[in-house]
Amino acid sequence: MLDQNYAAPLHASLHRPLLIFGGEREMVLLYAITVFTFIFAVLTWWATAIGVVLWVVGQWGLARAAVFDAQLSKTGIRALRYAKAYRARATPFARLKEWK
């Protein structure tokens, strides 16, 4: 019984990232709230035009970032946090640094 191949179905929602308009969910919602707050705080025609341009450009940038990595905000923060521990250009000839 153990030598049979067994495959368990895995639903796509368990491993697919949550994206809104092609961008990371949290970042898109935060950006939308920021842009709409700007538009409704100033409440003029030029603020609406600037807000729409900011929304289109920002959404395009967030979608491009999600193509690169769907969880870029989380992995980017983690990479910055570990930058001191893990050097970007490690070589086999590097001196060992003692942990304190």
pLDDT per position as a tens digit, 50-86: 999 999 999 999 999 999 998 988 988 888 888 777 7
**How much is the pLDDT for 76?**
87
Block residue for tokens 């001196």: 95
Provide the whole-model pTM. 0.70
Block residue for tokens 């640094």: 97
